[in-house]
Each structure stands twice: as C-alpha cells, then as structure tokens.
Amino acid sequence: MKLVKNVSFSPVNTLLIGLLSAALSTNSPAAVSNLLAAKTGIKVNLSADANDPLEKELHAIMVEDERAQNEADKMIRDARAFEKAGAGIGNATLAARVEERLKPVRQLYEDFILKHPKHVPARLAYGSFLSDIEDEGCLVQWQKARDLEPENPSPLNNLANYYGHYGPVSKAFDLYEKAIQLSTNEPVYLQNLATTTYLFRKDAMEYYKINEQQVFDKALDLYKRALKLDPTNFLYATDLAQSYYGIKPLRADDAIAAWKYALNVATSDVEKQGTYLHLGRVELNSGRFDEARKHLTAVTNTEMSELKDRLIRNLEAKEKAAKSPAATVVENAADKASR
C-alpha cells in the first residue's frame, strides 16, 4: 500500500483568522478544499512496510494529516453555508475550531521529528502541513531538509515556492533552476518555474537579463516542457493556454492550438465546456467568428451561461463592426449623443 503526500505551498489558504473572512465571502468551495494541491507539490512516496517501523509511523501521521485537513475544510464549507442562511458562527469561533482540530497533527509531526531529526521525508511532510495552514515554520523544515540532503530537489522546489510568494523572487528562480538540474524529468519543477517567470516578469527580466517578449518565450517553453513530460495533464495544458492572454500582441494561432490541445485532454464535460468558452474568446478576438460561434454554442452548462452570453454579445458586436465599419461608427456616435 502506498500513500502519496503532496508537499505543497498554497499561496491562498483559509485556515488563519486573518484569512477566514475573505474565504467565507469570496473563495469557492473548490479553492477552499484544495489543501493538498498537486499543482505545486512534490510527491513523497511512502510504502507502509511492516518491516520499516519509521516509514509505517510516518505513513500513519500523514493519513491523519489528510483526515484532519479534510475535516477542517468541511468546517469552513459548512460555515459558508450557515452564513448564507443567516446562522454564521463567527470567524474567531471557526478559526478556534479549525486550530483545535489541526493541533494534534502538529504534535504528531513534532514528536516524530524530535525522535528522528534527520528524517527528511518527515520534514518535507511537516513543512507541507505548516504551509497549508500558512505557518512560516514550513521554511525551517524545508531548510533543514535541504541541509540534510543537498542533492534532493524536493526541498529546493518547496523553498522556491515559499520565496516566490514571500520574496525575494530571485531566490525562487535560483532554487527552481537547481531543482530542475537535479531532476530534469520532474514536470512540477518546470511548471512552477514557468508560472513564476510568467507572473513576475520584471523580476525574470532582471534575473535572466532578457526583455519581456523573451520572458514570455521562456515561460511558454517551460510550460511546454512540463506538458511534454505529462502530456495528459489538463491543468498543465490550461496553464499553457491561458498564458497567451497576457502576451501582446496576441499570438492567436498558438493560443488556439493550445486550447484545442487542452480540449483533447479534458476529462470531464465541465472541463470541455470551459475550454469551449476560452476557444470562443480567442477566436472572436482574432476575427474567426464562425469558429467562435461554433464553440460558444456548444456550451450548455447553466453555470457558464452568463459568461457565454457576454461572449456572444461581444461576438455579435464584432461581426457587425466587421461587416459595416462606417455604419457602426455613425450608430455609435448617435447612441452617445442620445445619452
């Protein structure tokens, strides 16, 4: 039997008092429940071998970790529902309950590490737990793991995630690069570096000594390398496709190709219909009106209807403008004059 622990750093977490209000009012249930996110995680595979008592003990702690976080997640989701119904329990009370549920897990990790201070997988797993609850003690655990095993890329990646959120971002670039050098076939490292490069373009320009268009090219290349290593990963495919939105001028052909690839690896109807919306958006903005209408018409999910209707209105406006530019100018002028 194996348990895969995703050692991750999540920049948006709902388990602190200071974030609970925002979580209850703005975060989706899907975001709240993403406490063990694979996107920024590193896999630490532990087999519960009866002949290895340490491995078996840590395995049990990790099982309890996941159970406790799932229960904490449910507390938050239930609180959201109660609040909407006018029966909220208050952020302070909710935070106290969440903290109380997670407290035993913290103690289990600390007791294990006290007995086995050189056990790197335990420090990685405990660091993940701490990062999930926005406790900066994760930094200490991952630094210690790096010091114990300098050639292990996992703590380097997790430290890079930390610096990518808290700064300095230059440390994140450096650590991701080192992790990739140590493990060239791990797509997570490439994906993380791609995202950091794309989001922190000015920092990337300074670190790599390149211009903005070259930063875009670098990020796209990293996304593509990650996807090549994990070609059916829908999250990787959509991250690549969405990155084209920030590039000016729009690389329409590349963006459409990327979204069509994402469509081919989508595993659910919701993923497919969401991809249709993106395809329609890129196509209508690049003058491919027939293709845009085809993809937007294919969207039947009621939760997507508002965005679908907005895109169709944009499509109709662009079609009208393309057919009669002069008439549209006159009509717009008359419309403004009547206001």
Nearest to 165 by CA among 136, 145, 190, 140: 136
- Mean pLDDT calculated for residue range 27-51: 39
CA dihedral 130, 135, 140, 145 (to 10 degrees): 20
How far, in Å, CA of 146 to CA of 182, rounded? 13
- φ and ψ at residue 188, rounded to 5 degrees: -60, -40
In this predicted model, what pLDDT tens digit does every residue of 232-249 receive, in sequence order?
Answer: 999 999 999 999 999 999
Going by pLDDT thresholds of 50, 70 and 90, the confidence category of residue 326 is low
Q: Are 175 and 157 in contact (CB under 8 A)?
A: yes
Taking 70 as the threshold, does the pLDDT of residue 28 lie above it?
no
Q: Are 201 and 247 in contact (CB under 8 A)?
A: no
Map residue 43 onto helix, strand or coil: strand
2-7 and 42-47 beta bridge pairing? antiparallel
Domain 231-339 belongs to what architecture?
A: Alpha Horseshoe (1.25)
- Would you list the domain boundaries of the chain? 1-156, 231-339
The answer to whether the peptide bond before residue 249 is cis (omega within 30 degrees of 0) is: yes
Going by pLDDT thresholds of 50, 70 and 90, the confidence category of residue 88 is low
- Mean pLDDT calculated for residue range 149-165: 96
pTM value? 0.78
Taking 70 as the threshold, does the pLDDT of residue 3 lie above it?
no
Neighbours of 325 (CB within 10 A): 10
How far, in Å, CA of 330 to CA of 339, rounded? 15
Taking 50 as the threshold, does the pLDDT of residue 182 lie above it?
yes
Name which of 21-35, 40-54, 126-140, 181-195 the model is least confident about.
Answer: 21-35
